[in-house]
Amino acid sequence: MKELIGVDLDAEVLRDAFALAEVGAKSRVIVALTRLKPVLATKLYVHVNGRSAQPGQHPDSFTRFVRTIHQHFHSNYLYNIFEALQELGLPDSQVVLQAYRSYREQFKSSPKLFDVNEAYSLFALLRQPDVVKDCCDECNTAYFLEPFELALGSATCPCCRMVKRRQEVGPGESRQSVVA
């Protein structure tokens, strides 16, 4: 590890940086979560994945995360894990890593909607001060809403929306295709 990086760094930072690269985190995300120098993060990504990261923008608004019932259901799952892990006092790198691993496990039998870079974008967006965080009176699930959604008056708990959607879809469509 030291041969790759060429300098002494905190072992936990390196461990998390490697783990992030292994699940596909791009250098920008590795840098943001571990404070590794950008040149080292890029080197690490190539070392772990055998190639450079695909170019592409990361979501900088909630649109990607709440546009459909499924997106909001998946992103709200991540939100709840983020909150739980933050309450434990874990560093941001561990919060994003563990939440993403949990998300992959939870949705492993259906196509996951978000990659680790998007999970990080959501994590960062949720820190914006105007994000509304609430708890559903019906199912007791904690959920987040973007201000625009709230202004439209269309704000409802993503879990209740998903249950309603399943009821509308009926037995003809499998549960898996509704959750995915």
76-135 residues in contact with Zn ion (CB under 5 A) are: none
Select 98 or 141, whichever has its Cβ closest to Zn ion.
Answer: 141
For residues 139 and 160, the answer to whether their CB atoms sit within 8 Å is yes
Q: Who's near 119: CB < 8 A, 6+ residues apart?
A: 78, 96, 99, 100, 103
127-166 residues in contact with Zn ion (CB under 5 A) are: 136, 138-139, 141, 157, 159-160
Angle at 28 between CA 125 and CA 73, to 5 degrees: 35
- The distance of closest approach from Cβ of residue 157 to Zn ion in the complex, given in angstroms and rounded to an integer, is 3
Rg (CA), the chain: 18
Q: Greatest CA separation found in the chain? A: 59
Determine, following the binding rule CB under 5 A, whether residue 69 of this chain makes contact with Zn ion. no
- The distance of closest approach from Cβ of residue 155 to Zn ion in the complex, given in angstroms and rounded to an integer, is 11
Determine, following the binding rule CB under 5 A, whether residue 173 of this chain makes contact with Zn ion. no
- The distance of closest approach from Cβ of residue 164 to Zn ion in the complex, given in angstroms and rounded to an integer, is 10
Binding site for Zn ion (CB under 5 A): 136, 138-139, 141, 157, 159-160
